[in-house]
Amino acid sequence: MATASEIRVPVWFWIVSGVALLWEAMGCYSYLMEVSMNSARVAALPEAERTLMQSTPAWLYAVFAVAVWVGLLGAVSLLMRRAWARSLFIVSLIAVLIQFGWWFLVQKAASVLGPSAYGLPALIVVVAVLLVWFSGVAAKRGWLR
């Protein structure tokens, strides 16, 4: 029986893994832009958005950090063909669900930002679920070791 290192993976695995890395890197960039906002940039936000941002608890930013940085490690793990990529993506997905669950259910972000606030978070959740699924498929096919 061939080991994972001997199994050839299809080109599309590398493409999906590379796109996953870019996606996760954009999430990390978004996190860094949000947590590094200075008082002048915060003051320039519309009042409702500023209030929403200022009412966000610090622990939720920690959850945001877990979501994006662990997701980035998951994408790197895919490119390294490591089986722990799926576990990392699961942790990232859980953090995403906590983050957006709090944001929409407790902070009522949609009432401040309007219905369009659901678009990007919905896409993020879908991609997080797909990355968990994809890494599971890759593990089952022996592409990860």
Task: Give 99-113 pLDDT, tens digit per residue.
Answer: 999 988 888 888 777
pLDDT at 99: 94
Count the domains in the chain. 1
Q: Is 6 within a domain?
A: no
pLDDT digits (tens, 9 = 90+) for 62-79: 999 999 999 999 999 999
pLDDT digits (tens, 9 = 90+) for 108-140: 888 777 788 899 999 999 999 999 999 999 999
Q: Is 4 within a domain?
A: no
- Name the percent of the chain lying above pLDDT 90: 69
The predicted model gives 49-62 an average pLDDT of: 89
Q: Is 130 within a domain?
A: yes
pLDDT digits (tens, 9 = 90+) for 5-37: 578 999 999 999 999 999 999 999 999 999 998
Q: Is 47 within a domain?
A: yes
CB 92 within 8 A of CB 74: yes
Structural domain of 23: 11-140
Q: Is 38 within a domain?
A: yes
pLDDT at 24: 98
Among 35, 141, 145, 132, residue whose Cα is nearest residue 75: 132
